[in-house]
Chains A and B, each alone.
Chain A
Amino acid sequence: MQVKLWGTRGSLATPGPDTARYGGNTSCVAVRGHEGTVLVLDAGTGIRGMGATIDAAVRRVDVLLTHLHMDHIQGLGFFAPLYRSDVEVNIWGPASTQLSLLARLMRYLSPPLFPVGLRELPCKLMLHEVPCGEVDIGEFRVTSALVCHPGPTVGYRLTEATGRVLTYLPDHEPALGARTFPSLPRAWISGGTLAAESDLLIHDSQYATHEYSARVGWGHSSFRHMLDFAALAEVKHLVPFHHDPDHSDADLDRLMAEAIDEANPPYRVTPGREGMTFDL
Chain B
Amino acid sequence: MSTAKSIQIILARQLASCVAMPILLVDAVGTLIFYNEPAEALLNQRFEETGEIPADEWRELVAVEDEDRRPVLPEDRPMMVALLHRRSVSRAIWTRSGDSAWRHLQVTAFPLVGEGGQLHGVMNIFWEI
Contacts and interface: CB of A to CB of B under 8 A. Distances in A.
Interface in B1-40: 2-8, 10-11, 13-15, 17-18
Interface residues of A, number: 21
A111 interface: no
B2 A152 contact: no
B115 A177 contact: no
A31 interface: no
Contacts of A28: none
A159 to B, nearest CB: 15
Contacts of B17: 177, 179
A177 B2 contact: no
Interface stretch (A182-190, A207-215, A234-242): A182-190
A177 B18 contact: yes
A89 interface: no
Q: Which 6 A-B pairs have the closest CB atoms?
A: A177-B14, A193-B4, A146-B7, A187-B2, A187-B4, A185-B2
A188 B115 contact: no
Nearest to B114: A146
A176 B15 CA distance: 10
Contact of B5 (A131, A176, A187): A187
B7 A148 contact: yes
Interface residues of B, number: 16
Nearest to A179: B17
B4 A176 contact: no
A25 B35 CA distance: 44
Given A187-B2, A187-B5, A188-B13, 11 more contacts: A94-B115, A96-B115, A97-B115, A145-B6, A146-B7, A146-B114, A148-B10, A152-B115, A177-B14, A187-B4, A192-B4
Given A145-B7, A148-B7, A178 B14 contact: yes
A25 B18 CA distance: 38
A189 B2 CA distance: 11
A12 to B, nearest CB: 26
Please indicate which of the listed interface residues B3, B6, B15 has the most CB atoms of chain A within 10 Å of its own CB.
B6
Given A177-B15, A177-B18, A189 B10 contact: yes
Contacts of A148: 7, 10-11
A131 B3 CA distance: 18
Contact of B10 (A94, A131, A188): A188
B2 A147 contact: no
A232 interface: no
A185 B3 CA distance: 10
B46 to A, nearest CB: 16
Contacts of A192: 4
Please indicate which of the listed interface residues A145, A146, A148, A179 has the most CB atoms of chain B within 10 Å of its own CB.
A146
Contacts of A189: 10
6 contacts: A95-B115, A96-B115, A146-B8, A177-B15, A179-B17, A188-B10
Contacts of B15: 177
A152 B8 CA distance: 11
A193 B3 CA distance: 9
Contact of A176 (B2, B3, B14, B115): B14
